[in-house]
Amino acid sequence: MLLAANALAEEGRDLKLIVNGAPVVGAVNRAMSAEELLQSPLTVANDGAAPVDAVVSVIGSSLTTEPPVSKGFTIERTYYTLDGKQVDLKSATGGSSQIKQNERLVAVVKVESKDAGGRVLLVDRLPAGFEIDNPRIVDSGDVKALDWLKTTVQPEHSEFRDDRFVAAFNFSSAGASQPSEEAESTPDGAAVTKGPATSATVAYMVRAVTPGAFIHPAATVEDMYRPERYARSAAGKLTVVPSK
């Protein structure tokens, strides 16, 4: 990699450019803010015989949320109370909704794929007013009303961060089946056999902690080695109402 970078740097020394009307020899790297670009636009022209590649990288937050998409995957996000009743939280599907401060919900994210197998990464980003609460309580079976959430496809890796829940699955070697002599057992006693899978369900508990109006970000899933396969849910608006 160092040799390749050095070769590119050597080639860049022969570049002849005109930047904002002034001649420049060699590669040009500029970092500019949006305000600087508005006040003084940057113009670059090739003054040499060979073609030149221009690479523009933009860093920032979009003013509008990205639309939902499904390419090889589908992703569904729902919420439940601790006694197992589904909550119509419209912000999870692109609408607007309210929730009271200190209220706890169980977030359930289901991923399905048209094709079996693959290394799959699921990321469910939290609204800024939410925090993950007791991340292991659902998986441990302490919430009896949600026993049906058990899944035989266990994540190979999971993270309970301040702003998101992350789970990584190996669909190529994790599939659900009925108990058999070849079946393995998960810690909760569910039967699992090695084989390609096409779906997985994850659940974790969240608490509304901070009053205010927030964006409810989209949940995403992607095949880590086949980037053309991915899905994204809708993003909505969530208001956390202060408790009295």
With a cut of 70, say whether residue 172 has pLDDT above it: yes
> How would you classify the pairing of strands 73-80 and 104-113?
antiparallel
With a cut of 50, say whether residue 129 has pLDDT above it: yes
Instruction: Note the pLDDT of residue 104.
Output: 93
How far lies 109's CA from each of 33, 36, 194, in Å? 38, 42, 23
Instruction: Note the pLDDT of residue 185.
Output: 44
- Domains in the chain (CATH in brackets) are 2-46 (no CATH), 69-241 (2.60.40.690)
Query: pLDDT digit string (tens) for 179-210?
Result: 333 344 444 444 444 568 899 998 889 999 99
- Comparison of pLDDT for 27 and 119, the residue scoring more: 119
Query: pLDDT digit string (tens) for 111-127?
Result: 999 888 899 999 999 99
How far is the C-alpha of 65 from the C-alpha of 143, rounded, in Å?
A: 34
With a cut of 90, say whether residue 144 has pLDDT above it: no
Instruction: Note the pLDDT of residue 193.
Output: 44
Q: What percent of the chain has pLDDT over 70?
A: 84
Instruction: Note the pLDDT of residue 184.
Output: 45
Q: Which tokens hold the place of 51?
A: 């073609």
Res. 143 pLDDT band, cuts 50 70 90: low
Res. 27 pLDDT band, cuts 50 70 90: confident
pTM of model > 0.75: no
Is 165 within 8 Å of 79 (Cβ atoms)?
A: no
Q: Identify residue 39 by its one-letter amino acid code.
A: Q
